[in-house]
Structure 1
């Protein structure tokens, strides 16, 4: 008897996903709630657990292809004992109308992750019922989890020992194989089918153009930014600020309350929330012919992920202490870095804080994160000569930039908000006046 597992409803109104990486191959044995594939939606990359156990008889699509919710994903053949798959009551419907039971909440997927992590630490490829193919002695300790990655290595004829792993625990991922192939000057075995442009007449062998489809998160970002540019009449204003006292405050908090680990980003988030309370017009969005001023402050912030820049959201930031803000920012930053941030953590923002100073730049005129109405940017903090107490001194200076939707406010409001933020950066004690 076989069971067809279809791409489940991943929530947040998502209707499709792109297959990023298979964790099983045809012929592999799988257990209930084992994560079998990583997919990328318009919100994030997620690992999908299978509600059936048995032998994989068919993978219905290849890595790099897009699949609609409800489309066949994988077929599992039951084992002879009749207990290899859940009943409909246990597994829940896999139709597009109902989300996969256990997705994101069950302990079983976490157990599966721990099993694979333990296997990875031992240098083994986890397979519950079947042993992996024998490897050369020189490669027996190389950490590779995905059967797909193993196949890519075989197709490219690359020595595993020559590949630099970037995965957690030293695991070799698909991107590592592609990088190794690129270094050798060979076509990537996983690259999607490309349509090279017609060769130009040239005396040199120039590399051919490649066409890379916009899928998943990148497509969602492209659509959102295009909508923002098309619909929002934005304007930007900026000011330099002396951040010496802000850094001193951070150091004082670190010494007094090291357990809270309050950094510069958390202090800037605290200042931003206070600024939005003073200028609530900026915690808004435009819906049709109405300006909606949001009662809650859901603070988004830019963070790097394996698939590019994402904007996790600290929900109800207005109700948090500075220590709570710091903890939330750390948690979301770590999730973004590991690629485990969820769709719910990427939605619902009302204002965005962009710390582009981490890239070593001073200023920026960012595109507003539609449908929000404004974005505050923080440049790098560097030593600069500055007029201080009647003399020129070397101070820690940063540039603050503020991009806003001119439909929700005029320049006076925008300038007032930015000046308030700059005053708090220069004299953090200003925040006490609002407590």
Structure 2
């Protein structure tokens, strides 16, 4: 080989041959993993690239950090805050708590209904309520009297706007169908209920036409207490009528006289664990703030207020988890005023671990997403791809990179 090489060098084309020989030699050192000028693009670097100014953290079950990027930085959590709300509610009420709605009768034949903030009082529950009332001998009602005094009136939840979108629905003690109505409006202004289990009432038709839209859509009762009570009353009347209970008088809104005792107490068909499961799956802001406000009442006294709910949350975070310097102004994550760091959120996940099954699960990942404009979060638990016997706690909080949170999670599962 040396002789051949010498012959080539003597050739008049030696510069080209020399160049080729040197190129081959250089290529041996340019293979991936050998170049010092361009080192391999590690998965850590990829995570940092996807995260930008965001925060990413992974911890094992003992709380040891396996990966940490900006985890002490306070950030907007968006809907992963619902995990905090769920933990707070379970602490004060338990996972088997069932919301109550109280029914009273007076000597004039009036039916009083007092709400306790049940977020699961939907059409299917009305069927059970009407049947139970009839089984107890209720066949005629004079006036329907609604009492929503368990919550303070006109609660203004930070971040909730004035739109008719479901996430802007008004919270209250006496609500039905998440304070929304689901309808179909034809181009000819014909309105039908878009739910087979929900009858169309005159009030629902009026609200649907007021929106000036066509198609099938869900409308929220926004910041109007009277409209919320009118929706409740109209559906209550419809379901009682279906059960054969007639109401002759008008609807009134006032508190139940102290002298009356409950004629019937309706317990929600769903316990708090089931309500939380639905809340997580559908990211229901209305339900989250119903739980948030109710937790405040359980830690204090009625009526429910935002101030009591915030105080109950801060007390739980400090006394049960040892966390301070967290800003929580409501329970759904819709407000940008909420602030928490990834490291702090990891401590909440450690508390919530026995209840991870309440989170949506897919392929060994139990998680909750959060999305606002320029905010993208993801938090929960996963089983690593390389070690099926372990469980990891993770928090991803990004600024406006909705698709990158899943890319980051995929990398974390492969390497941690």
Q: Give me the TM-score of the superposition, normalised by structure 2.
A: 0.26
Rg (Cα) greater in structure: 2
- The structure with the largest helix share of the pair is 2
- The structure with the largest strand share of the pair is 1
Q: Give me the TM-score of the superposition, normalised by structure 1.
A: 0.26
